Chains A and B, each alone.
Chain A
Amino acid sequence: MAQWLPKVRWAATTPVMDMFQGAFDAEVLSRWVLTRAHPGWLGLRYRDHGTDWVELELPWRADLVGDERRPVLASGPIVSLMDMAAGMSIWAANGEFRPVATLDLRVDYIRPARERASVCGRVTCYRRTRSAAFVRGTAHDGDLADPVAEVSGVFMTLDPARMR
């Protein structure tokens, strides 16, 4: 159990502690990590996962547009979507929940999302070392082969013992 977890205000009745034990399950964990804080505010949703990838969805929201002339999701929340899917892909690849911090994240915007479309982000953790994890992924609005954005990034594994 990561030592920083007890700092969170746990509801006594929530079986949330169970989510962090045993084999990692992105779907089970997402019930907690996607319903609070920044991912909760954005309304991120779990879609699917594999052994080293996770796909999340950023539902369409009119107040998250980047240009009032077009009803299209801004690029900013797409970075949040990809950052979150990246972190979860690392947990999936690790097979356990261990806190990570983004070191570097690059996003290439291939084309704007379609009007009033939700955007999905699928990120794969393709390489892990003892302290770093390398990810790449694709944001799309329905067809993975017709991307909205491509991302690549590097995350650092945090040592829970040094997080006070």
Chain B
Amino acid sequence: MSVRLTAYAQALGVSVAEEDAGPPTLVLEFRHDLEGRPGAWHGGAIAGLLETAGYAALTSELSAQGRDPLLKPINITVQYLSTGRTQASYARGRIVRLGRRNANLVVEAWQDDPAKPIASATMNILMAEPA
């Protein structure tokens, strides 16, 4: 199943790096539009990548289950672990708990090494089944 990215994610420049098995890995190449203080990623751009990867992980699993609910964000908590250098960043989400009405996910972003994340996020998402 191919990942459907939101208009915001596309404007940001997010694309799918890998979606063979399990949650898709997303990638965002660095450019000046994503910079915060000179030489570092803006925290908001990293949060956007993390959130997009969280939604991609959830929609890919829901699609496998034949579900297509309306997704509404409840909250997101982002931890910034180290400075995002001026290079591509990757992100992948993992579903911790998938219920009927809500889902809990953790998402990590990294640059060179997935074992050394630059940021992580916890997300709660509400799922409203179409009437």
Which residues does A use to contact B, with CB under 8 Å? 4, 7-8, 36-42, 62-68, 74-77, 79-81, 83-84, 99, 101-109, 112
Complex contact B42–A68 (CB within 8 A): no
Q: Which residues of A contact B6 (CB under 8 A)?
A: 65-68, 74
Cβ–Cβ contact A76 & B51, under 8 A? yes
A100 to chain B, nearest CB (A): 9
For chain B, give the interface size range.
Answer: 35 or more
Inter-chain contact B42/A80, CB cutoff 8 Å: yes
Within the complex, what minimum Cβ distance (angstroms) separates B118 from chain A? 12
Contact indicator per residue, chain B 10-36, by CB within 8 Å of chain A (1) or not (0)? 111000000000000000000011111
Please indicate the chain B residues that have their CB under 8 angstroms from the CB of A66 in the complex.
6-8
B80:A107 contact, CB within 8 angstroms: no
User: Is there contact, CB below 8 Å, between B44 and A38?
Assistant: yes
Question: Does B97 interact with chain A (Cβ within 8 Å)?
Answer: no
Contact of B43 with A83 in the complex, beta carbons under 8 Å = yes
B residues apposed to A, CB below 8 Å: 6-12, 32-40, 42-45, 47-48, 51-52, 70-80, 83
Q: A4–B43 contact, CB under 8 A?
A: no
Known: A77-B44, A79-B51, A80-B47. A104 touches B7 (CB 8 A): no
Chain A residues within 8 Å of B76, by CB: 75, 79, 106-107
Which residue from chain A places its CB closest to the CB of B119 in the assembled complex?
A102
Main secondary structure, interface of B, reads: mixed
Contact in complex: A105, B32 (CB < 8 Å): no
If A4-B39, A75-B51, A105-B78 are given as contacts, then 6 extra A-B residue pairs at C-beta distance below 8 Å, sorted by A number, are A38-B36, A38-B42, A67-B70, A76-B51, A76-B52, A104-B79
CB pair A84–B44 under 8 Å, yes or no, is yes
Q: Contacts A38-B42, A80-B44 given; indicate if A109 touches B8 (C-beta within 8 A).
A: no
Beta-carbon contact of B45 and A80 below 8 Å: yes
Q: List 18 A-B contacts (CB under 8 A).
A: A36-B32, A36-B35, A37-B33, A38-B33, A38-B34, A38-B36, A65-B6, A67-B6, A67-B71, A75-B51, A79-B44, A80-B43, A83-B44, A101-B37, A104-B78, A109-B73, A109-B74, A112-B72
Residues of A within 8 A of B71 (CB): 67
In the assembled complex, the CB of B31 is this many whole angstroms from the nearest CB of chain A, namely 9
Complex Cα spacing A71 to B17, Å: 28
* Closest beta carbon of chain B to A97's beta carbon, Å: 11
Residue of B nearest to A156 (CB): B80
Q: CA–CA, A42 to B42, complex, Å?
A: 12
Chain A residues with CB under 8 Å of B80's CB are 101-105
> B residues within 8 A CB of A80?
42-45, 47-48
